[in-house]
Each structure stands twice: as C-alpha cells, then as structure tokens.
Structure 1
Amino acid sequence: MSDKQGQLPKLLIVEDDPGLQAQLKWSYDDFEVHIAGDRASAIALLRSEEPAVVTLDLGLPPDPDGVSEGFAVLDEIMALKPDTKVIVASGHGARESALTAIEKGAYDFYQKPVDIDALGLIVRRALHLHRIENENRVLATRANDGNRVLGGMITAAPEMVRVARTIERVANTNVSVMLLGASGTGKELLARGLHEASDRAGNTFVAINCAAIPENLLESELFGHEKGAFTGAVKTTEGKIEQAEGGTLFLDEVGDIPLPLQVKLLRFLQERTIERIGGRKSIAVDTRIVCATHQDLEAMIADGRFREDLFYRLAEIVIKIPSLADRPGDAVLLAKAFLTRFAKEMNPQVKGFAPDALAAIDGWNWPGNVRELENRVKRAVIMADGKLVSGEDLDLVERSEEAENPLNLKSARELADRRVIRHALARSEGNISNTARLLGISRPTLYDLLKQYDLQA
C-alpha cells in the first residue's frame, strides 16, 4: 500500500479519547499514523505532514459534548488542503451532522460507537479515491486542461475546486441543493454541472430567473395553465416544473418568489404533484429542484418575507460560492479563456493580453464577479487595434501593488513566501515558535527565511 519511493500513506486521527487513540493507531499498520487530540495539534500536523486521509471526531475540547469544535477543524482542513479525504465520526445528531459534514466537504460520515473494521474499509476506500484523483490531476495537467472542473468551469482556486467536488458528491442523491453567492459568480453554470453529473443528465435542464418575471406571470411560468384559465390563455401550456420532468429545474433568485406562490411551491416539494392554473387534476412530476440566490434568506425569514418551512425543503445542502476576488489567480485564467472565445468570434487578429492588461486583471477586485470580467474582455477584444489587448482596452486601473511585480517564478515564490510569513507572524503576534508551527516548518528554517527576506518578527 506504500506510496511513491516506498513511503507509507499518511493518516491523521483527530480524537481526544486516549483509549480510542491507541486502539485506532494500532489498527493501521499499512499507514504512517499521526494522532491529534485538539484543533491546534490537528492543524499543525495537517500543515507539516499533509496526510491523504483524516478521521475526525466532532466532539473535541473545548466542546467535547457538541460538534462546533469538530466542524471548525473540518473547515480549516478544507480551507488549507481541500483534496484531503476527511471521514467524520460522531454520536451527536447523526443525520444532521452527516449532512452538514458533507456540505462542508467531508468525504464520508461514520456514527459512533466506532467499528474498527468498518471504519478501516472507509479509510482505505478514501485513500484509493485520493490516489485516483491525484493521478487524474496529473493527467489533466499533461492534457493542458487541468483548470477545468465541474460543468467546464475554469478554476485553479482551492475554494472553487472544493465547491465543485461537493456538487459532484451530492449530484446523484435526492437532496435539494441551494447555491448561495453574489451575482455573477456562476451559479447557473454550477447548477448545470450538477445536472450533468447526476443520473438525470439525459433529461432536460430548465432554468428560470424568478426575479426577471413579473409577479403576476410567475405562477403560470412555473405551474402552467389550462386553456381559458385567464384572459389570453388561448391554449393549455406546461409550466417549467413539468418541462423539467425527469430532469432538473433551476430556480435562480428564489428569494424573489412572492409568499403566496411559496406556499404552492412548498406543496409541490411535499407531494410531488402540481395543478395548472385553471386545472382540476393533480399531475405527478418527477423534477429535481436546484435553487440559488444572492439574498440573505435567513434574514428574510426573520422579516416574514420567506417561509422557513420552504427554506428547509430547498436547502438540505447549502453550497456557498466564493466571489471572484476570493479566488486568487482565477481572473487571469478566465480572462484568457474568454479572450480565446471572443477573438475567434469577433476579432481574429487578437492573440492575447499585454503585460499591463494581465497586471490590471490580477489587481482588480471584480465587484461584478465573472460576469463583469466576461463583459470587459468581450468589449476589449472588440475595441483592440493590435494583436494584444491592453489595460486601456479593458478600461481598468491597477489597484494592486503586487500587480507591478515582474511576472516570473522566482519573484512570485518570494512574494508568496513573504505574504504567508507576514500573515503567520501577525496571527502569532510575533511568537517564533507559534509562527513556525503555523507554517509547518522548524524554528531554524523560519529564522533562515526571516533573514533571507529581511523580515522582522
């Protein structure tokens, strides 16, 4: 079972019970096992050892009888190393904890008391998947397509890769999925990716923007109507729910559905039948609902503008989509893809971006997210006079000091090292031992780096 160069694969066991620690440690002879009893030591070992698989007890100090500390550890693992396969174990509210763990990026969930043999099978299966995914990443990189994930979405950001992997995990389940994110972050693209990754992929994907349709027409758009149901209803018309029979209906901006219509949608989700406007018979429909919004639905529930029971029907799994500004490097990747497409369609003489354009793209904060980037690149390709799109063509002003640095590997590495060390020093309030632990390096190595980059602790 050893990895390359004969090394054993690494397993991190996060468990605060000393007896169970020992029992688990000696159950994995084919792993290099590391033990952590709390969040700090777990994250330190994650940084230094980079284990392929982690088993995580949710009941950790200082909340041994709850799940808050365990989920905090899971969040940090997913933020730092999202390809890690985390197997969560807990005896607290098993079903609810399982759904939350999967939503946060866990590979699997196991309810206590622990069956060592059964857990061992899950651990080895997780390791197998981890190896396959690593091999696939290598192959994808060789094929020059390593930045495409679910639904053709282009990203190199761990935050977005984690979103895609979560969607892939839930695609073939029957749980309802709610996508939360600012306008222009790619919610519909991800919804399509979910549909294509599911066993409904051979059937129809139907999308409707609830905010773009007048309130008095939205019910007819969703549920359809019978001939003569109202003035202008000259024929019987299927609604979007029926059109998505056997497939997926994507409700974008679901927070804009008026309260009376929320009741009817809730009834459909409970009974899986609809009645067209003016109709008298119930029609059974097998449609999966995926929804999205940029609004704070919990605040709307508190204000009485959104039904709480509908929210929980729609939001069995909630996936938060990061803004483009929170996806380092993705703006440049996406811009190059947009340029290739638009140049082919509209201005074949354009071959790429000038250095000042790339610096401006990387330094902009993109308040309009991917949609703004796409529109700016499209306009720039049309307006460009030469072979390269300039910063002026994009109409962007450089806002990032880092964008002015030379674009080469050595300086990029130095810049990254400086930034990470500064952040670690700030979090540790200048404490060398804590900073080294955060960085997963030894104190002598940290001293060398401080001297090399002329940084002060």
Structure 2
Amino acid sequence: MRSTILITDDELNTREGLRKAIESESRKVDVAADGDEALDKIKKNNYDVLITDMRMPGMDGMTLLREAKKEAPDLGVIVLTAYGTIEMAVEAMRCGAYNYLTKPVNLDELEMLVEQILDKRRIEMENEYHRERDAAVEGFEGIIGESPPIRSLRERIKQIAPSKATVLITGETGTGKELVAQAIHNLSPRKKRLFVPVHCAALSENLLESELFGHERGAFTGAIKQRKGRFELADQGTIFLDEISEISTAIQVKLLRVLQEKEFQRVGGSETISVDIRILAATNTNLQELAEEGKFREDLYYRLKVVTLDVPPLRERVDDIPLLAHVFIKRFAKENAKGIMEISDEAMTSLKKYHWPGNVRELQGVMESMVILATGKQLEIDNVPYEIRRDSDVKPEVLVTGNVTLSDIEKQVILETLEKYNGNRTKTAEALGIGRRTLIRKIHEYGVSHSDDNDNSD
C-alpha cells in the first residue's frame, strides 16, 4: 500500500523540488500552494505525512497545523522554517508537529524524518490491528468473526448456554460445530466439569456402544476389565455427540433412554447407572428428512432438537475471512518459526472470492500450507493455491466499445462496486483488492459519487 504525503508551500519551485525528491513507487505525493488548499485536501484524503512551510499568504503554517490535527490527529507533520523563526517551529512541535527543518532544506534530513513518521505509522497501525484481531479471537471461546451471522450465533449461544436444554447443532462440514458446543459448555454452569466430545462416525457400532456406555469385564472378546464409558465420564458435565446421524438404530434406542431417563447400563451389565449430563449433538445432514424416511428414530430426533443452532457456512460470512486468515497466519507462522507475516490485498481478495466448500477447516489448511511454503514476509497471490485462484478469478463485466480508455473502465468498476456495497469504501476497497486510501484518491480523481458515499458510510 502506497504512503501518501502532502507538501504545502507557496513557492512553486520549492514544492515541486520537494515532491520530486521524496516521491517514489511506494509514496504518492500531492502538493498545495497555500493553507486553504492543503486543508481542503486533508479533509478529502487520508495523508500519512504533511510537510508545510510556516510563512505563507492567507492561512499560515501554524494555523494549518492546528486545523489539520483536528481533521487527522494521527497525521505526521514536518514544518519548514527560515532561520529567524526557530521559536515558531518549536511552538509548532508543542502543537503536535513531529519535527522541523530550516530552509534551505537538507533533503537527506527530510528523507530521514519522512521515513521515521512512516515507520511509526506502520508500527502503530500494525499494533492496533493485532490488538483488535486478538480481542476478536479471545472474546468468545474461539469462534472467530464479526459478521452479522456470527454475531447472531454468539448471541444465541449466550441465551442457550445457562440452560439444561439439549441442543442440536447443524451445519456443513468444517464450519466449527464442535467450537460452538465447547462455547456452550464454557458459558454454562457446568464449565468447571468435563466437556467430553465423541466423534460417532469414527467408530464401528460395537466400539461406539462401548465407548459411550462402557462395558463390564467379559462383555466381549478382549474386555478383560470393567471400563467406564463417556456418559459416566461426563457426569455433571457436557457430552458432545458429533455426526449423530451416523449412529445405529440399536444405539439410538439406548441414547433415547439416556435423554429421557438420564440412565443406562454398561455393555454386558445389569446395573442401572444414573448420570447428570447435558447432551449436545451435531450433524451435517438433515435429520428431519432422515427421520421422515425411517433412517433415524423420530422420537430421538425430537428429543435432540429441543434447541437448534445452525452454524453458517464460510461463503455466507465472507467478511470474516480476513480475520480468520490473519489468525491462522499468526498461529502457523509462530509454529513454523516464520516470524510476523502479512498477506497482500490481491491474495486476500482471491481468498474472499473462493466458495470454500470445506468451510473454515479448508481455509485453515490452505493458510497453513501458504505459510509453510512462503519464502518472504508477505503472502502474495502466487502463494494462493492454483485451484483457489482459478475458481475465484471473477472478472468484472465491462463492455468495451468505441474509444473507451482504461480509466473509463476503472471508473465504471469502482462505481459498480460502490453500488454493490452501498457506498461502503472499506468493503469496496477490499473487494477491488486495493487500499482504502487508494480508493478514496481514485474516487476524487474520477469524480465518482454515490448517494451513501461519505466518510461515515464505513
């Protein structure tokens, strides 16, 4: 992302000379001939650095400094002053200027100050970003995201957690159903007791029965001693039955008894064992359809669905992908001793356009692979797996006829994307794969307007 700098000086040769000296591929430099013009530009753009002369006709540098700081408190300001006005420069620093230089300006010193401000800005933005990101991650039991579907899900969990109700958690594979179950347990009165997960599809019928209910010595070949099952282990706590649709009819009968009577018998035993447990179940299939088809006990289905929670697929919470991606990058970079890594706008846009059939679990695997295979400090579009780049390669529908220029096409795409996101510049910039400041500059450059397009629309 290019840094943006504004130079204000009433002398044409001075401002143009300074512009040429500090402008580069990574820096965009604007100029203003007086304080009023500079302030107008500051109101319309997000600048990183302001370089201003102190003595100018009309609004002087000191007034510009004060007004600029009101508009942009984080703006780094360098003031330029003649030898005889050092006192004014010192006063400017008291008012928030970063530093001052005397005229004629030493370009090496100016370059050093500009780079210091930009480094400080980068560090501050990175620290703030990580603070916000970590707060979002730690704020709710590992359920990462701030999109409306995830906010709604968290509110439902808060409502459900304190009760004793059985909960059926539905959602596609990889959406995080176990995390939801864990959150319900952690927010419940049972949080100091065990949370016992059981992945029903991973075990055969006989093994699953023994795993859930336990067995007595000699109950079957190899049962050389008594063994407590998961229901006993979860007493006073919570048991989570993942992929509940995969259990056999025989086990369904025994599970129904646990739900109704809170009791069961071990395999090969006659003793009735009572337990106080909360049962949470999850499925990626439509249990109601299975019940109607006779493939799942209808009475058990109704016992399980006292309360239902649906976990949204990743394609319905695209706005959470950047947060999720950064969390995974941070985790896998640490695990693989890669240091701090970031991801380019282009790579992130590709991730956001992909449909993610494997949901969050697939994204996690992709990010781990990208981090491991990366050779630099930033993940680029080339690090994104080919199949994701291919499937997410959505080109704008632009009809090119006559003497249409590249600028015309860019303007049209920006306008259409602003319309799509109701004037939200942050979302528009993310969708286009460019920085927000770049978008704002292009909006003013092309004279693009939108009914909701203002600085508060984000």
TM-score range, shorter chain: 0.5 to 0.7
Quickly say closer, same or farther: Cα 1:279–1:392, change in 2 above 3 A: same
**Which position in structure 2 is the counterpart of 1:147?**
136
2:168 partner SS: strand
**Which position in structure 2 is the counterpart of 1:418?**
419
Quickly say closer, same or farther: Cα 1:413–1:267, change in 2 above 3 A: farther
After TM superposition, list the pairs within 5 Å mapping 1:417-456 onto structure 2: 417-419=418-420, 449=450
After TM superposition, list the pairs within 5 Å mapping 1:111-150 onto structure 2: 145-148=134-137, 149-150=139-140
What TM-score, normalized to structure 1? 0.58
**Which position in structure 2 is the counterpart of 1:346?**
336
**Which position in structure 1 is the counterpart of 2:181?**
191
Could you report, residue by residue, the CA deviation over 1:54-102 in whole angstroms, capped at 9, with x for unpaired residues?
A: xxxxxxxxxxxxxxxxxxxxxxxxxxxxxxxxxxxxxxxxxxxxxxxxx
The question of whether the paired residues in 2 share the 8 Å contact of 1:225 and 1:236 is answered with yes
Rounded Cα–Cα distance in structure 2 between residues aligned with 1:284 and 1:356? 57
The structural deviation recorded for 1:390 is 2.1
What TM-score, normalized to structure 2? 0.58
The question of whether the paired residues in 2 share the 8 Å contact of 1:301 and 1:308 is answered with yes
The structural deviation recorded for 1:161 is 1.1
AA of the residue aligned to 1:418: E
**Which position in structure 1 is the counterpart of 2:304?**
314
The question of whether the paired residues in 2 share the 8 Å contact of 1:180 and 1:321 is answered with yes
Rounded Cα–Cα distance in structure 1 between residues aligned with 2:415 and 2:276? 55
Unaligned runs of 5+ in 2: 1-128, 397-411, 424-448
The question of whether the paired residues in 2 share the 8 Å contact of 1:357 and 1:389 is answered with yes
The structural deviation recorded for 1:341 is 0.6
**Which position in structure 1 is the counterpart of 2:284?**
294
The question of whether the paired residues in 1 share the 8 Å contact of 2:133 and 2:323 is answered with no
1:151 partner SS: coil
**Which position in structure 2 is the counterpart of 1:110?**
none
The structural deviation recorded for 1:235 is 1.1
Q: Which runs of 4+ in 1 moved over 6 A?
A: 411-416, 450-453
AA of the residue aligned to 1:276: R
* Number of residue pairs aligned between Structure 1 and Structure 2: 283
The structural deviation recorded for 1:206 is 0.5
**Bigger radius of gyration:** 2
AA of the residue aligned to 2:419: R
After TM superposition, list the pairs within 5 Å mapping 1:8-407 onto structure 2: 145-148=134-137, 149-349=139-339, 351-395=341-385, 396-397=388-389, 398-401=392-395
Quickly say closer, same or farther: Cα 1:361–1:144, change in 2 above 3 A: closer
**Which position in structure 1 is the counterpart of 2:103?**
none
1:319 partner SS: strand
Rounded Cα–Cα distance in structure 2 between residues aligned with 1:369 and 1:166? 21
The question of whether the paired residues in 2 share the 8 Å contact of 1:179 and 1:321 is answered with yes
Unaligned runs of 5+ in 1: 1-139, 403-410, 423-447
Rounded Cα–Cα distance in structure 2 between residues aligned with 1:310 and 1:413? 53
The question of whether the paired residues in 2 share the 8 Å contact of 1:226 and 1:235 is answered with yes
Rounded Cα–Cα distance in structure 2 between residues aligned with 1:374 and 1:259? 35
The structural deviation recorded for 1:419 is 1.4
The question of whether the paired residues in 1 share the 8 Å contact of 2:195 and 2:237 is answered with yes
Could you report, residue by residue, the CA deviation over 1:140-169 in whole angstroms, capped at 9, with x for unpaired residues?
A: 998654534531211011111111110111
